[in-house]
Amino acid sequence: MESIVKGASNAPHRSLYHALGMTVEEMDKPMIGIVSSYNEIVPGHVNLDKIVEAVRLGVAMAGGTPVVFPAIAVCDGIAMGHTGMKYSLVTRDLIADSTEAMAMAHGFDALVMVPNCDKNVPGLLMAAARLNIPTVFVSGGPMLAGRVGGKKRSLSSMFEAVGQYNAGKINACELEEFECKVCPTCGSCSGMYTANSMNCLTEVLGMGLRGNGTIPAVYASRIELAKHAGMAVMEMLRKNIRPRDIMTKEAFDNALTVDMALGCSTNSMLHLPAIAHECGIEINLDIANDISAKTPNLCHLAPAGPTYMEDLNEAGGVYAVMNELNKLGLLHTDCMTVTGKTVGENIAGCINLDPEVIRPVENPYSKTGGIAVLRGNLAPDGGVVKRSAVLPEMLVHKGPAKVFESEEEAQAAIDAGKIVAGDVVVIRYEGPKGGPGMREMLNPTSAIMGMGLGSSVALITDGRFSGATRGACIGHVSPEAASGGPIGVVRDGDIISINIPENKLELCISDEELAERMKNFTPKTKELSGYLKRYASMVSSGATGAIINK
């Protein structure tokens, strides 16, 4: 910042700062950009004005000049099931690009990122890696769980209730009770969905303070955390600790390890490779299986189980999970963090306060991690499933394909009762390029579960599923249909074999038949315009994080 405000040649710049009402004393201090994802349409962001104000106070108390600028945010829940969802994933790159532009144009000395929901966290982590100036993250925090019928509930319960209603299992009054009660506060939706997954993994990467992923949005301690984030960035500036000092290959190994233990959203397998790419680090999906093979799954938060983010917070949070894993020597404890201390120093003494929420490593839910990458002739470059949210009877499944060219086609068939026990629903042309935008598809997965077919029907797509999805739902199948992938030649009635323990996904036809189909296959195209047309022309495969690479 000094190069912009000091000296006679920069008097024009100072005149514009005076136009903002900024004093000479403020100009003499380090200028800290606070990236605010606040808006009035996303429940996870409607409280961020208060978080931002707390960050401002923290920065000022520690000797900096805070300056706020915005980032956009899309609510995946509101965008779900219609054209709006095509615009969700694509905002990750808009957020990264616009934040980079603002920070570089105005010469900030350091940044505090204030995201919360699905794409804002990875988008801002990507920007932090590019800019590589001292940066701290503080999210808006998770929503408290709702209560319906005396049980804790969340957004995934709401979507499944629609399936129950369509199947005649609940009436309109019961559906309305879910509608009014499952989302009782502001904050990111209360299960281990994508937003909370990424906020927890920001702690693990070392880019957020303790509690960033778990302290509920409505707790006063969330405001205290924001003040401490403002103070922490000033200390990072003094010590010259930068994002690429923190987000090393070892830090990403830690993130993948804790991802497996927490049972995070499958979308982490899109976002972690994209963030790592900005750090100059490549994450191959096979690394995920290698890490999963030696990492126990310790948590079954919603949608995998009956516990929620508030429960994880009370049990000791992410650091308690990390401390459990460290008993097995699974973490790189010498990685630097935004605290100025190492991972090992941060997690020392952070004990597990509730073995029902965080299983001890001696008694895990499973000896392998919560996410699996499947490969085979149907997914040569891989597909991703949240193994911890799959019923035991569906870990191995073989059944006939019911093929659909879009989410809407599949949803109509499910609602009409055309999907029966044993089927494998295949939804294609929903990938990064083919969608475009790789829509999350919580509607069809929730309908299947709500109708009672979760123990007998699998879903496969070159698109992706919500972090709120549970069941045998395999997404990110790559190459996608629009890029000429084998999922594009699957026919109704073809037998598909799923073996999650062995990481296999196979189309049960001969190699000769598959080769013949592929030879005669011409992918379908869509008429596109605007940003989606540009995005589709530039985006990479879901297997590499759906990054913009052209």
Q: Which residues form the catalytic set?
A: 466
Distance, CA of 322 to chain centre: 19
Locate 210 and state its tokens. 């303790």
CA–CA distance, 242 with 252 (Å, rounded to integer): 16
Secondary structure (3-state) at 14: helix
Nearest to 485, CA basis, from 445, 514, 465, 528:
514
Q: Which residues lie across from 137 on neighbouring strands?
A: 113, 208
**Phi, psi of 506, rounded to the nearest 5 degrees:** -130, 140
**Phi, psi of 368, rounded to the nearest 5 degrees:** -120, 165
Locate 419 and state its tokens. 């999907």
Locate 345 and state its tokens. 């120093």
Tokens 């070892």 label which residue?
250
Secondary structure (3-state) at 387: helix
Half-sphere exposure of 474 (CA within 13 A, CB side): 32
Q: Which residues lie across from 499 on neighbouring strands?
A: 396, 504
Instruction: Kindly state the helix (H) or strand (E) to which residue 102 belongs, with its residue range.
Output: helix 91-106
- Which amino acid would we find at residue 339? T
Question: If DSSP states are collapsed to H, E and C, what string results for 457-509?
Answer: CEEEECCECCCCCCCCEEEEEECCHHHCCHHHHCCCCCEEEEECCCCEEEECC
Secondary structure (3-state) at 192: coil
Q: Which residues lie across from 238 on neighbouring strands?
A: none
CA–CA distance, 124 with 104 (Å, rounded to integer): 14
The residues near 445 (Cβ < 8 Å, ≥ 6 apart) are: 459, 465, 466, 469, 470, 471, 473
CA–CA distance, 58 with 386 (Å, rounded to integer): 38
Nearest to 118, CA basis, from 51, 212, 193, 48:
193
Tell me which DSSP letter residue 301 carries.
B
CA–CA distance, 97 with 102 (Å, rounded to integer): 9
Tell me which DSSP letter residue 439 carries.
-
The residues near 20 (Cβ < 8 Å, ≥ 6 apart) are: none
239 CB neighbour count, 10 Å cutoff: 12
Q: How many residues does the chain have?
A: 550
Contact (Cβ atoms closer than 8 angstroms) between residue 426 and residue 475: no
434 CB neighbour count, 10 Å cutoff: 26
Q: What Rg value do the Cα atoms of the chain yield, rounded? A: 23
